[in-house]
Amino acid sequence: MLTITDLGLVRSVERRGDGWVIGFTPTYSGCPATEHLLGEIRAAMTENGYAPGAYRAAA
């Protein structure tokens, strides 16, 4: 199984203050799965005990 990291969609993970900033690049501009994938990233971070942070999608 390929992950979003394997596919190169996660561009950066950065600790900032009490949270995290995740840089995410969709497969193409306007990708309909972007919001769903960002939601999955938020859920995975929370489930694994990481404080909520900012999640940004970069074109």
Q: Please report the pLDDT score of residue 54 as a whole number.
A: 66
- Which pLDDT band, with edges at 50, 70 and 90, does 56 fall under? low
**DSSP of 38-59:** HHHHHHHHHHTTPPP-EEEE--
Q: Please report the pLDDT score of residue 58 as a whole number.
A: 57
Q: Please report the pLDDT score of residue 13 as a whole number.
A: 87
Q: How far apart are the first and last CA of the chain?
A: 25
Q: Which is nearest to 45 in space by CA: 8, 9, 13?
A: 13
52: pLDDT strictly greater than 70: no
| Domain residue ranges of the chain, discontinuous segments joined by + | 10-57
pLDDT tens for 4-37 read 999 999 988 888 887 888 888 888 888 898 889 8
